[in-house]
Structure 1
């Protein structure tokens, strides 16, 4: 495991966890066990160390990854105690181990549980993570899960149950800049973790191997001292292409992303071959230049390595790999719930795990919704510290309703193609850690509400399976349609016939407060909120309102999907819920 710095103070008296021998606990790492059998608690992959450091790593000065991104690093909740449960290794995971890890964590007394794992969508009563997470939620613990890495294809999510906080991935405002400059003066900003500023001092012959553009082999071709242009088949350049360029004497390489990844560039450390990854659009221009004329000697390029560039705009954007809704398991519930940083994230790494060569590193850059989830986990820990009495659903609501839908340029968050991102991509928005502890109002849910929701969605046998209570009946708990679940997002059918969704909010702000409804919806969508104002006179007071949604028939701009938002605005707070009207959702 990567070295951790002890947090201030000992673990709380209620903590029951332990560190499995030969590991010794300290004030930071208060629990570490393997649920896979044996005493091997090492992280031989790096994934667990990276995610744990992101959630709760302490402040460490002078951190960098391969000399890049240098500065002070910290997890989201640097003062939090950390417990780790090993349920996977390099060969994969058993669901029984994952469930055992959930049980152990709850019994030990965790406040929040982070799981950067998941599989394809299946019905909730067949999804063992969803079933286990219901038990976790019933004990008052919020479970934060990765949304999956199968984007940008729609309906590719993992961990779709509404009692899970499901996280999508976006970019940050830092770029490991590696600019490709052609001999004609044109320049294209790419990224790379393999940087050598000495390389930038001269121009190199540029070679594009037409017909073998994946750079798998170079039989009979002299590329010695040249910069080679290669296509990629995956988000990351294939290692065999890098090895082929190296073996044939190439000086450097420019990798061109697949078209469906748009502006998303996923970087990873590969040996020491100077390289840059560029978008498909820029790559097409580079290839065009490489093909011009008949004399290859006329085509030159260099790669300008600029270390780490910060304050990049626009950011965040949705990472292309981040899985999207609609929610296949429950189409009437918005997923993912939230977006968080998950593209090219620098965090702790176990030094014995090789990255690209033989040199050891204590930090690495990795990408995925696995990296996004622990950002939110750390925020949950901060909220639980401030409000230990809040339910898992109240914490989730605070995170969703205080999120942002604007990027750092003040425009709506965009997807990987630089189009306005749908709520099916970003959930309620990008998490805003500065606001979550004071949301003003929350949408709360309890075990009974979720049980009734399962009855409405899947029926009594599924409810018994998920709740683990064979004596419980739907006649006893009732039935709640998806659209009426007291969720912080409002997802309804789209039609000319008005559809009403009811919601209840709980006042967790000032006792005496008044909230006024503000709607931001497209002109062809008709939305009415009743009442238009909510007046509270005490803390924890509840108020119910109804949102009625319909399309204005015959509008030329009308489509299958409409998105907007409802903002409850008081003197001190803005409580925002996304509104999604989707013609594919069946009224219930």
Structure 2
């Protein structure tokens, strides 16, 4: 018997990843750490804020400083007439050295040492300097209420390092919630009660149950419908982690896997689960970077874990185990299913994720799946079925900068994550790995550098060739190299990743890689160094579609536009098991990963919020709300770009980038009931038994009113034009009872689009109205492009309901 295998779609080059790395599982694209100097901390704190908030804070800071100076001048002038000046007391953070030859084991000893820096006398007889906190681990120092004069007095004492007034910082997340417009005190999070009462089922590699992201503080017991169970010790589950089960009989048959608890052994399951529904965890960071409050999309939702993947990262997840997990999840009563799994395109009746997911939507369960990591090439999608939300990956506005500085003074910013002990600021000899003319050496394949002198050198390796990015660094290190510059392939363009490399490294763009290779060829003694600049926030080009994100068109059903949506999937920080092995930092509780595996749980969590806010919406209604409210522009209002920094097409973005707050109030929805898919499946030309496999009941297509793909009530249009075609859609009013919408069309080039009627007038909530759209080639049109695109938007006084249009010219 043969097994149909479904690999974890876990990172942007999961097929490239090796089985081990020095301190982190190399399937992930890196854990960042901060290299900002202490005197830049205030500036870094501003970078942690959303860009508009950072700007406001910056100019407010300038204003306050100016105002402070003005007050100081005023007080100096007033002193001519007054005998006393007002005393300004602030809380200062004071850094001091540890006392030489003393070990401060007791809190009293530490506090006594810190108090020794405080002046004995003050400007006011009724006030004494006040020690607020003594710190042992976070800094060597303390917080105290002091005047500026008292701080100046401390500066003269041995052991004093620095002091600065504390700042009032806003609560910050690991970026994506704020980037998506989710805030604690307002908007969708508050309206949806943070997803409270919704159960998200995650099919993946298990979970690290003791992680603080899975605390059940403030979370009520699961709803009465919950039927699942916990295969850990019962006490290891709680009101957040309400269930955890293992399904490994398929894996056991293939590889002799022994029965085991649903414990995460590679980090992937923990990361995806916390991205969807991790609770608030303060002071989160990954090796010193991305500091803030970590939180998933639906922080008060319940989690049910189904372990269906086993072995080393990147190993297969048997479909039998996946189906068993889906079976249990449906039976247990989950509301949302999140599957960061996928395989190559196949007919829906042969795709067991599609088949199992159809059973889920029949029970009202929303299903979110990864689009795949085979981009940027067209026709590379996984999970193409229209009842699944297919999620592509895009960047957020945070970068983790590592710079390649060449001997000629040129600097090229790339991305990487390293420990501070791995920094190599000095110039070292630079060599191109493919200098021997061998393609396997150019990509730094295993064993390919043995005959090249790379010892104590910076080695430039080409990306690709079936070799993982981390594995390339391992080969360089094993061959004696000191550092690596990873050069993008042309297809990857400007899309880079922050990897936890095993040696100092940076990942640069294709354009910069060409310049680096040109420099190597221009001199007999090329040199380079790697400089780490840490985290930068505020990239106005975000979101950009990741190069690895799989693209349409939909091979199994060209009349359905896929992917449906894009969401954050590059350098995402979320929960991480600790320790994974003896070399893992025991304090490492968060890690950074990239892939559509990361974007998928973002949308799973957002679907849970919408389910909580609108408990009676169907899975198709939730999907419609997400799609028709999506953003098609960046932070600065320009079109979303792809890895070439050119406007991305619909095969990359689908409907656009998710906007959770707007999805909560979409105005109109395109609803589809499970039985509505049967005429569509018959219209695909499937045999009766093939449709029956999906529908889970006997089907006779001869007795069904088969419809063309374009007539499925989908929130997008994918049209193949020879002769003119007309499709119908039905929208449901979920906005204001009395409302009217007018059709606005951005017409694809060479196409005439007409909508009848072009105005929809509603008089009550949940009222349905039907319209038709006719697509025709214009008389003057030749075959300008194989594809073109546009949009149909229904606009009211308050709402904008947008459907993308993709046209293929036959």
Q: Is the pair's TM-score, using the shorter chain for normalization, greater than 0.5?
A: yes
Task: Call closer, same or farther: CA 1:517–1:237 in 2, change over 3 Å.
Answer: same
Task: Call closer, same or farther: CA 1:18–1:218 in 2, change over 3 Å.
Answer: closer
Task: Call closer, same or farther: CA 1:277–1:32 in 2, change over 3 Å.
Answer: same
Tell me the secondary structure at the aligned position of residue 605 of structure 2: helix
Q: Which deviates more from structure 2 when the two are superposed, residues 226-235 or residues 546-555?
A: 226-235
Q: Which deviates more from structure 2 when the two are superposed, residues 93-102 or residues 511-520?
A: 93-102
1:366 is matched with which residue?
593
Of residues 213, 225, 229 in structure 2, which corresponds to 1:14? 225
Report the CA distance between 1:330 and its aligned residue: 0.8
Report the CA distance between 1:384 and its aligned residue: 0.4
| Partners of 1:425 and 1:218 in 2: CA distance | 37
1:101-153 deviation line (CA, Å, top 9, x unaligned): 11211221111111111111111112111111111111111111111111122
1:131 is matched with which residue?
355
1:362-390 deviation line (CA, Å, top 9, x unaligned): 22211211111100000000000011101
Pair 1:52-2:282 in alignment: no
1:465 is matched with which residue?
693
Aligned residues: 577
Question: Under a length normalisation based on structure 1, what TM-score does the superposition of the two structures give?
Answer: 0.93
1:347 is matched with which residue?
574
Q: Which deviates more from structure 2 when the two are superposed, residues 145-154 or residues 537-546?
A: 145-154
Pair 1:113-2:337 in alignment: yes
Task: Note if contact 1:112-1:141 (Cα within 8 Å) is conserved in structure 2.
Answer: yes
1:245-295 deviation line (CA, Å, top 9, x unaligned): 334543322111222111111332123x2111111211110111122133x
2:508 is matched with which residue?
278
Task: Note if contact 1:551-1:558 (Cα within 8 Å) is conserved in structure 2.
Answer: no
Task: Note if contact 1:519-1:564 (Cα within 8 Å) is conserved in structure 2.
Answer: yes
Task: Call closer, same or farther: CA 1:220–1:200 in 2, change over 3 Å.
Answer: closer
1:166 is matched with which residue?
390
1:89 is matched with which residue?
310
Pair 1:490-2:717 in alignment: yes
| Partners of 1:196 and 1:379 in 2: CA distance | 36
Task: Note if contact 2:416-2:501 (Cα within 8 Å) is conserved in structure 1.
Answer: no
2:243 is matched with which residue?
31
Tell me the secondary structure at the aligned position of residue 166 of structure 1: strand
| Partners of 2:640 and 2:292 in 1: CA distance | 27
Report the CA distance between 1:224 and its aligned residue: 4.6
2:608 is matched with which residue?
381
1:508 is matched with which residue?
734
Greater CA radius of gyration, 1 or 2? 2
Of residues 739, 745, 756 in structure 2, which corresponds to 1:530? 756
2:205 is matched with which residue?
none
Q: Which deviates more from structure 2 when the two are superposed, residues 175-184 or residues 34-43?
A: 34-43
Which structure has more helix as a fraction of its residues?
2
Tell me the secondary structure at the aligned position of residue 409 of structure 1: coil
Tell me the secondary structure at the aligned position of residue 105 of structure 1: helix
Question: Under a length normalisation based on structure 2, what TM-score does the superposition of the two structures give?
Answer: 0.69
| Partners of 2:515 and 2:583 in 1: CA distance | 32
Tell me the secondary structure at the aligned position of residue 343 of structure 2: coil
| Partners of 1:82 and 1:375 in 2: CA distance | 14
Task: Note if contact 1:181-1:304 (Cα within 8 Å) is conserved in structure 2.
Answer: yes
2:661 is matched with which residue?
434
Report the CA distance between 1:344 and its aligned residue: 1.8
Structure 1 unaligned spans of 5+: none
1:293 is matched with which residue?
523
Tell me the secondary structure at the aligned position of residue 683 of structure 2: helix
1:376-422 deviation line (CA, Å, top 9, x unaligned): 00000000001110111000000000011111232111111122211
Tell me the secondary structure at the aligned position of residue 371 of structure 1: helix
Tell me the secondary structure at the aligned position of residue 27 of structure 1: coil
| Partners of 1:96 and 1:122 in 2: CA distance | 17
Report the CA distance between 1:525 and its aligned residue: 2.1
Task: Call closer, same or farther: CA 1:176–1:456 in 2, change over 3 Å.
Answer: same
Task: Call closer, same or farther: CA 1:504–1:228 in 2, change over 3 Å.
Answer: same
Structure 2 unaligned spans of 5+: 1-207, 250-258
Tell me the secondary structure at the aligned position of residue 284 of structure 1: helix
1:495-518 deviation line (CA, Å, top 9, x unaligned): 3x3211111100000000001111
Report the CA distance between 1:177 and its aligned residue: 0.6
The RMSD of aligned alpha carbons is 2.1
